[in-house]
Homo-oligomer: A and B are copies of this chain.
């Protein structure tokens, strides 16, 4: 937390773990009253650069009834390492999936802890994904293309008993968008324009 994170909310006691719980509960009430506000569309645009190297831009999204822009335009390079015939200009696409999972579970955890009055002091996690590339290389039809398994290891410290800290992780898992995407199916449509 930086000095600029200190706000009126913090002074009035509604700020916990860097989460403005008053705003969090007000947001929940607002969506309860107008469920359509919760319909979001997120977007990434990608441009191929060379070989396995490409770059995505994340700038705008739709939510709470209107088009919105992030405060910054974010760009991310992806590539394969040399051992996978790339130039290592960025992580592999599958590594970004692990980051997304860690980030989603951790964000949820901080919100849930704040809502439950638990002060977190440190949250760290390591996510590992095991993959057999015989799948994507087309060398063994019995091997899937994606991860065989993913393991998340959390180390959590805060002002609550171990049992309560573990319950935060369980609730975060139960409400995680990325966990749902990875452990359940999402239909994907692909359209192609050529000329």
Interface residues of A (CB under 8 A from B): 1-2, 5, 17-20, 23-24, 27-28, 31-32, 35, 38-54, 56, 58, 61, 63-64, 68, 70-72, 74, 76, 78-86, 88, 90-111, 114, 120, 122-140, 144-157, 162, 165-166, 169, 173, 175-195
Q: Please report whether the interface of chain A is mostly helix, strand, loop or mixed according to DSSP.
A: mixed
A17 to chain B, nearest CB (A): 6
Rounded to whole angstroms, the CA-CA distance of A48 and B166 in the bound complex is 16
- Known A61-B95, A85-B111, A154-B193; 20 more pairs at CB < 8 Å: A19-B51, A19-B52, A31-B139, A38-B137, A40-B132, A44-B102, A44-B127, A45-B126, A46-B125, A53-B107, A71-B88, A74-B90, A78-B99, A105-B190, A108-B136, A129-B186, A145-B176, A146-B181, A149-B189, A182-B186
Copies in the complex: 2
Selected contact of A32 from candidates B124, B139, B194, CB within 8 Å: B139
Selected contact of A136 from candidates B86, B146, B176, CB within 8 Å: B176
Nearest 8 Cβ contacts at the A-B interface: A18-B50, A146-B180, A18-B51, A78-B103, A46-B102, A48-B123, A93-B104, A38-B133
